Amino acid sequence: MNGFEPRHESAAPFAVREKRPVKDSPMFLQGYGPLILAGTWQTVKLAVLSLVLSFVLGLIGAAAKLSKNRVAYGAGTLYTTLIRGVPDLVLMLLLFYSIQIWLNDLTDMLGWDQIDIDPFLAGVVVLGFIYGAYFTETFRGAFLAVPRGQLEAGHAYGMTNWQVFTRVMFPQMMRFALPGIGNNWQVLVKSTALVSIIGLADVVKASQDAGKGTLRFFFFTLLAGAIYLVITTVSNFVLMYLDKRYSTGVRKADL
């Protein structure tokens, strides 16, 4: 018609490109974001619960090493010497697999079904047991740093042993122990990475799985390191607050 054929419109110069799937975007961790978050939460829970257990074991160990009872002193000394002299990884493997073997033998003897140890529970117990030895020495030194005269003054005012411990000894002991507690906590947080070898889906295991699934090992390993850095940095602020809390009324000398 009229010698003209309908002209097909060429592609617009600003054609919209096909969008890449959200899961291919590094901003969304290629679909592994929930896995990384779950692993981070596992790591935080593991570290906090291990800290509580090691804190309790440290107080018990310090009391044993300060005791005049030879059996208690010997047990405390043996505990700290053995634990601090063996690498954490070796201890973790020995404790986890030896307990699992003993448990299997017990169930076989009783005719029960095999019981598998939960990796999270095993990690809490093993890390708490290991770092309880380090907290033992931290608390022992802190207890010895508290002036004996103040304890005697508390007894002179009619306080019971428990009141002297909670109102006089423990607050001052914490002030002396906080630097050591902070150091032990930082090392404990980093040692939670070892628990991935016994099957716990922590942030290290999650980052490894994400790296294998996307072939971006460096990116997800770097992300795991950044997560640990955030945890330890936040911990530093908490420790600074505790230091101010337990140093109230204490004048610091200028050296």
**pLDDT (tens digit, 9 = 90+) per residue, 142-163?**
999 988 888 888 888 888 888 8
* Per-residue pLDDT at 13: 46
Q: Which residue has the higher pLDDT, 204 or 13?
A: 204
**pLDDT (tens digit, 9 = 90+) per residue, 7-39?**
544 444 444 444 444 444 445 567 788 889 999
∠ Cα 145 151 154 (to 5°): 150
* Per-residue pLDDT at 136: 96
* Per-residue pLDDT at 226: 94
**pLDDT (tens digit, 9 = 90+) per residue, 48-90?**
999 999 999 999 999 999 988 999 999 999 999 999 888 888 8
* Per-residue pLDDT at 3: 52
* Per-residue pLDDT at 47: 95
* Per-residue pLDDT at 231: 94
Q: What percent of the chain has pLDDT over 90?
A: 40
* Per-residue pLDDT at 71: 94
pLDDT reading at 132 higher than 90: yes
CATH code for the part of the protein at 39-195+231-240: 1.10.3720.10
What mean pLDDT do residues 181-195 have? 92
∠ Cα 41 46 47 (to 5°): 100
Q: Which burial class, exposed, middle or buried, applies to 215 when counting CB atoms under 10 A from its CB (0-12, 13-18, 19+)?
A: exposed
pLDDT reading at 4 higher than 60: no
* Per-residue pLDDT at 75: 94
